[in-house]
Amino acid sequence: MLYVKLGGSLITYKKEGMFSIKENILRNISRELRSFLRDRIFLTHGAGSFGHVPVIKHNLQNGLRKGSKLGASEVMVRVSELNSIVSKIMLEESIPVVPFSARSVFMRRRGKISCNLPFIEYLIDHDFVPLTHGDFIPDEELGTYILSADEIPIYLAPLGLKKVIFLTDVPGVLDEEGNLIKELRRNFLPKLREDDFDVTGAMRGKLSHAFKLASMGIEVIIAGYLNNGDLRRAFEGGWGTRVII
């Protein structure tokens, strides 16, 4: 199974804080995805501005505190709205997506995340493309936990996950001079700037999940979608950063 995540910064105006999408990029990626339909695909997108902006506004980075219910609700309504917009574009481009929110299949208890895998297995066995997103999931202690679409693939390993492609708004992981690092090992990490717009740690957070996936024997590529064909090039190993342990 192939996991593809469309970065929130790639498909929304996250850094600008605007609740709008980059439709052309989404359409180009959708068209490219058609050539992957013979394989098993699991598709996700980040929350982008639709999630990160209200999370920061309502101070929900570390869970649900008293009185933040409406704020939490706003986050979930907005990310579902984004999921619906992305799903409609995918459908128009003939991708048989089944949209659902991560909060309806994942939950967290005592720091451990569980997932309704039979549901996902059903979709994949019937040649649907599951389409979920970074979301708040129920958490016994915190109330809500921010499950990033960078973290989701870790829990899909039992479904025979072989490869993960994180598409984002930069060519891949960049070194201090801004050059693309083709192969990245944990002990050769470049300087990673924190990002004020990303509540899940931007590239640093992405890499912590990427290394975990690599240690499980899963191939991980972090790549920009800057031109048509970049998804195929990343899939074939000719574009982006390969994360290895």
Ligand X SMILES: Nc1ncnc2c1ncn2[C@@H]1O[C@H](COP(=O)(O)OP(=O)(O)O)[C@@H](O)[C@H]1O
Catalog residues that contact ligand X under the rule CB under 6 A.
7-10, 46, 168-170, 173-174, 190, 192-193, 195, 198, 202-203, 206
Residue 97 binding: pick among Mg ion, ligand X, none (C-beta 5-8 Å cut-off by kind): none
Rounded least distance, CB 49 to ligand X, Å? 10
What's the min distance (Å) between Cβ of 243 and ligand X? 12
Q: Which stretch binds Mg ion (CB under 5 A): 35-43, 70-78, 176-184, 194-202?
A: 194-202
CB of 213 to ligand X, least distance (A): 15
**3-state DSSP assignment of residue 46:** coil
Please check whether residue 209 is in contact with residue 154, taking contact to mean a CB–CB distance below 8 angstroms: yes
Residue 32 binds Mg ion (CB under 5 A): no
Residue 237 CB, shortest distance to Mg ion, in Å, is: 23
- Residue among 78 and 206 whose Cβ is closer to ligand X: 206
Task: Specify the residue, 93 or 195, whose C-beta has the smaller distance to ligand X.
Answer: 195
**Nearer to ligand X among residue 141 and residue 194 (C-beta):** 194
Binding-residue total with Mg ion (CB under 5 A): 1
Sheet with 2-6, side-by-side order of all strands: 97-99, 129-133, 41-45, 2-6, 163-168, 219-224, 241-244, 183-185
* Out of 145, 198, 221, 239, the residue judged to bind Mg ion by CB under 5 A: 198
Q: What angle do CA 73, 204, 228 make, to 5 degrees?
A: 85
- The type of residue at 35 is S
> Of 241, 156, 176, whose CA–CA distance to 206 is shortest?
241
Task: From the list ligand X, Mg ion, none, pick the one residue 195 interacts with, judged by a Cβ distance below 5 to 8 Å according to partner type.
Answer: ligand X
Separation of alpha carbons 216 and 156, rounded Å: 11
Report the residue number whose CB is nearest to Mg ion: 198
Q: What angle do CA 170, 171, 175 make, to 5 degrees?
A: 90
Residues sharing a CB contact under 8 Å with residue 128, sequence separation 6 or more, in sequence order? 96, 97, 98
Nearer to Mg ion by Cβ, of 32 and 198: the residue is 198
Q: Which amino acid is at 63?
A: G
Chain residues binding Mg ion by CB under 5 A are: 198
